[in-house]
Structure 1
């Protein structure tokens, strides 16, 4: 399992515009392998947004899916709302636990 994660500092007051532009619609054609997507915002700084998703497949399959989908276009359109980037990469899930 892989996790694609990006930490962004948004320009003040643009969080809703960023979310509307970057987050895919519920009816979007999602490339195979994607299992879950999250967009979270800091409770201490509404302009800090973290997006991450879990992909069940290889790194090559993940990258191929990004290239064939609308990811690059959504990311480029959302970049106008981004002030700076923090962590931005693909990470291997080394342990997973369900807490109940």
Structure 2
């Protein structure tokens, strides 16, 4: 009887750790998305899309997002890369 109780408690502990792990994974994914959005300045367009007007990121590559703040990126302003050393465009896949 004691062994069955220990096995049951072990299963409960594993389940709790698994749920905790999943929760932390989803929180970190959401935080990384929000951090990426901070690298851009954009303006809202009348059609519900956005135009990227400035890139503030520290990268030598421009990770081109398909969405910002839940809205589709329709345009990139022509002066976005002035005084920047950007070597390549990388499409961002969500």
TM-score by length of structure 1 reads 0.26
Flag the structure with more relative contact order, 1 or 2, with Cα contacts below 8 A and sequence separation at least 6.
1
Larger radius of gyration: 2
After TM superposition, the score normalised by the length of structure 2 is 0.27
Q: Which has the higher strand share?
A: 1
